[in-house]
Amino acid sequence: MKRPLNSKYYIVILLCVCLAGCGLTQAQKTGISAFGQATTALGTASKDQLQGSRENIIQMNKQRLAIVKKVSPEKQQDGKPETRDSYTKELDLDSGLKQENIEKRVDAIDLLVKYGNLLVAFSEDTQEKELTTASSQFTDSIKQFPGNPLSAEEITGLGQIVVVAGEMFVDYKKKEALKKIIPTVSPLITKICDALENDFDLNNKGILKLTSIVEDQLANESIDGLKREGGSIGDRLILIDGLDLANQNKLAVETSSPKILKAIDSMRKANDNLTNLIKDDKVAIDDIKSFADNVNSLVKAIKPFMK
């Protein structure tokens, strides 16, 4: 026998309706997810570039030192006898780009990647499975409650309402959390954009510029050697390999620098876009879309240069 819904049902439905307007909209979810994914991809690409830079610098310096037939002095500049450490320092294989420099950058970028992943989790994880399981347990308890006045149909309906209300509540909680998180993190995103731009701009004193100088030094010494006659086939091959290695690095640096800078610049704009989007769901997500496109283009462009 079909009975009219009781007042408790109406209250739950009313609650659902109220919460429906308080959660994340589809546009906000899409924007947050796209920003999170692009941030993760840019972070991963930047990290690979920075880690690869030090290895490339060491490889190029080894080759250059072999070409110039590097001879270490018998005594240090202050007259003290040479030690293993002083010989190592004298070689300066990493051109002063220490492992600690890379680690500081990698630590920061790892946090950026983590932030991107968390934003994706926020936008995509609906807790649907957990809520459905909880709802089943809830309806089972109601069914078994002594003197339960609800029909099987009503209990099923109530279970569905619990799931929907739960999802809406989750969405509401997410939005409330993101309204605090995104504006708090926004200045930090600007800060890391500045730092990354410095490292990837060939006009700045950063890591890519250092790679560029080292490849020029190798190219220059290789060409110097090639100008001179003599030497074995092996010697000539080292010179040719040296020039080739320098050219490969030059191409990699000149290809990746503008792409990474473009992606960083678009992350800066997308960051502002995201901050506005979480406040107002009517805001268009053009800058976030452009950020995602630029990162995709970057990932494709640098793929051939990754080892």
Partner 1 sequence: MTTYIDTDLANLVKKLSDLRIATPESNPNYSSITEQYREASKEQTEAIDKAIDNADVDYKDFSDCMQPAIDAINKALDDIKQVATAITMVAKVIDVAGKIISKV
Contact positions vs partner 1 (CB under 8 A)? 95-98, 100-101, 104-105, 107-108, 111-112, 114-115, 118, 121-122, 125, 127, 130-131, 133-135, 137-138, 140-142, 144-147, 162, 166, 169-170, 173-174, 177, 180-181, 184-185, 188, 191-192, 194-195, 197-199, 201, 203-207, 209-210, 213-214, 216-217, 219-220, 223-224, 227-228
H helix or E strand, kind and range, residue 171: helix 152-200
Nearest-angstrom CA–CA distance, 44 and 167 = 32
Closest to partner 1 by CB, 218 vs 288, is: 218
Alpha-carbon separation of residue 101 from 97, 105, 107, 164, 202 (angstroms):
6, 7, 10, 50, 18
Closest to partner 1 by CB, 199 vs 287, is: 199
Closest to partner 1 by CB, 257 vs 289, is: 257
Work out how close the CB of 290 gets to partner 1 at its nearest, in angstroms, rounded to a whole number: 22
Identify the DSSP state of 303: G
- Angle at alpha carbon of residue 158, lines to 153 and 163, rounded to 5°: 130
Closest to partner 1 by CB, 135 vs 294, is: 135
Work out how close the CB of 225 gets to partner 1 at its nearest, in angstroms, rounded to a whole number: 10
The torsion angles phi and psi of 207, rounded to 5 degrees, stand at -70, -40
Nearest-angstrom CA–CA distance, 68 and 65 = 5
Alpha-carbon separation of residue 164 from 17, 20, 95, 141 (angstroms):
10, 10, 60, 19
- Angle at alpha carbon of residue 258, lines to 254 and 263, rounded to 5°: 140
Closest to partner 1 by CB, 162 vs 253, is: 162
Work out how close the CB of 237 gets to partner 1 at its nearest, in angstroms, rounded to a whole number: 20
Work out how close the CB of 34 gets to partner 1 at its nearest, in angstroms, rounded to a whole number: 18
Half-sphere exposure (Cβ direction) of 263: Cα atoms closer than 13 Å: 29
Work out how close the CB of 120 gets to partner 1 at its nearest, in angstroms, rounded to a whole number: 11
Work out how close the CB of 258 gets to partner 1 at its nearest, in angstroms, rounded to a whole number: 16
Closest to partner 1 by CB, 82 vs 197, is: 197
CA 138 remoteness from chain centre: 41
